[in-house]
Structure 1
Amino acid sequence: MVQQRPVLAATLPVVGTAAAVALWWLAVVAFDIEPYLVPAPPEVARVFADMPGDLFAEAKVTLGETLAGYGISVLAGVLIGTLIAGSRTVERAVYPMLVALNAAPKVAIVPLLIVWFGFDSAPKVVMAVLFCFFPITLATAAGLTTTPADLVELSRSLAASRLQTFAKIRFPAALPQVFVGLKVALPLALVGAVVGELFAADAGLGYLITSSGGSGNTALAFACVALLSAISIVLFYALVAIERMTLPWVRATTA
């Protein structure tokens, strides 16, 4: 029975996806929806068959912007989250600005980014950073401020320095919470990159969605959305695999 669990875990997502596609197809046929409004799954599949090179070339652009923005957010978010957790002064000085930045309507910032950075990949990378920076910072700060008290007392009894306590106890203990923020932020980075492409781009899946909407090619837009979903799923589970390799004790203690 235990050996069947991995098979079941791998099968259920496939079954769920197939059921969703079947319901989509059934709704299109049952309600006689026009293809220019909602295409049937075979029409979307035909787009993948007719132009795989174009789709994957644009996906490569979007993926590069997403990973660049996400990487910047991880470095900056972990650093600032660490500073916030380590100093009440920094927390009081920085936290209100972070909350205000996160609450700002990011779509409204796109025209400014175009003025500042032009039409190349920089505005999309910045949008990815704006979308995913806050969850990483918040998760890092939360993880570092909830270190078990007995571990902190143990480090003090061993006369560990503040740096040693951080490196050996506080940061490892915070990693599960940090990975929660990383997993929340990763799909948001993709969303940010696509939002930037919708407004100012000559490449990427967001640009392809905009151009397909202008030409009435709804099947192409659906294909782009499906490809974006697939990219998000692959990136998310790649991060989950990294988490399991990095923190094997968490899975063992919570099983």
Structure 2
Amino acid sequence: MVSSGTVSGAQVAGVAERTRPGAAERARDGFTRAWRPVALLAACVAAWWAITALELVEPYQVPSPGKTFDVLTGKWGYIWHHTWVTTYETLLGFAIATAVGILAAVVMVYSATVEKTLYPVLLFAQVIPKIAIAPLFVVWLGFGMGPKILVAVLIAFFPVVIAMVTGLKAVDPEMLELSATMGAPPMKTFMKIRFPASLPYLFSGLKVAVTLAVTGAVVGEFVGANEGLGYVILQANGNLDTPMLFAGLVVMSAIGVILFVLVELAEALLLPWHASRRSAAVTTSY
């Protein structure tokens, strides 16, 4: 006869519960996850250096890593100013796309009429090349940050809304039926069941959207701007200043990687209960 009470994971046949990892184990796990991409990046830089050192290409076509690094350090104040402009446009566009995307997804899930009406329009807007309509934004909004932020919003919006709609629809129907049976109001059902269950899907969309927002901001700067990394890259290309061009590309890539990692860290902090975060805590023995 089994006594009443809570059964731990270690008492379930075939399941072994691991202890909470300490600081040393977490650091070791982090190193294990990081060394492969770091090694690949180092190999790419080494190949870049070898190609330029062996003069397989002309210096005006591909500068050496040393010259690119000299530009990054020697003109850091100039690059930092334009980096901050692009980062600000990216973050604001990403924030707006996230807020509007979540709201649109909620409305679409709770209204079949809105979903059938809005979904084709969203798809149509997504397939339009943003570089083709960006000049219109410059005509409408001028040469300030407005057009760049709008392009970032349009590019980042679609992954957010699609991921959120998928997450809200992926809720277990039995949970919704149980909530309705117990008399929970719709808002409480949404806050306690639907929204938490959709967060893993939402963060998947956010990680895609935040990198696309960087691209959107730079694309907007290509069309018409007097500051930002897109402006730096265009000026360097026009002057055949490939070290500055590569420096701008390196910084732009770094922004995307850093923002992606920040979203992933936020996911780890907000979703410790999700299966993907608990997989290291429980192992099966069969």
TM-score if structure 2 supplies the norm length?
0.86
Aligned to 1:95: 119
Provide the secondary structure at the position in 1 that maps to 2:215: helix
Residues 143 and 227 (structure 1 numbering): CA distance in 2 closer, same or farther, change over 3 Å? same
Say if 2:207 is the partner of 1:183.
yes
Identity %: 40
Q: How does 1:1-255 map to 2 (within 5 A)?
A: 4-30=28-54, 32-250=56-274, 251-255=276-280
Deviation at 1:31, TM superposition (A): 5.1
TM-score if structure 1 supplies the norm length?
0.96
Residues 26 and 183 (structure 1 numbering): CA distance in 2 closer, same or farther, change over 3 Å? same
Equivalent-residue separation in structure 2 for 1:254 and 1:177 (angstroms): 17
Number of equivalent positions:
255
CA RMSD after TM alignment: 1.4
Provide the secondary structure at the position in 2 that maps to 1:249: coil
Deviation at 1:195, TM superposition (A): 0.4
Greater helix share, 1 or 2?
A: 1
Equivalent-residue separation in structure 2 for 1:127 and 1:232 (angstroms): 16
Deviation at 1:39, TM superposition (A): 0.8
The letter of the residue matching 1:112 is: L
The answer as to whether partners of 1:85 and 1:142 remain within 8 angstroms in 2 is no
Larger Rg: 2
The letter of the residue matching 1:101 is: A
Provide the secondary structure at the position in 2 that maps to 1:248: coil
Deviation at 1:124, TM superposition (A): 0.2
The answer as to whether partners of 1:62 and 1:204 remain within 8 angstroms in 2 is yes
Give per-residue Cα distances to partners, 1:181-214, cap 9 Å, x unaligned.
1111000000000001111000000000000011
Unaligned runs of 5+ in 1: none
The answer as to whether partners of 1:209 and 1:220 remain within 8 angstroms in 2 is yes
Deviation at 1:86, TM superposition (A): 1.0
Unaligned runs of 5+ in 2: 1-23, 281-286
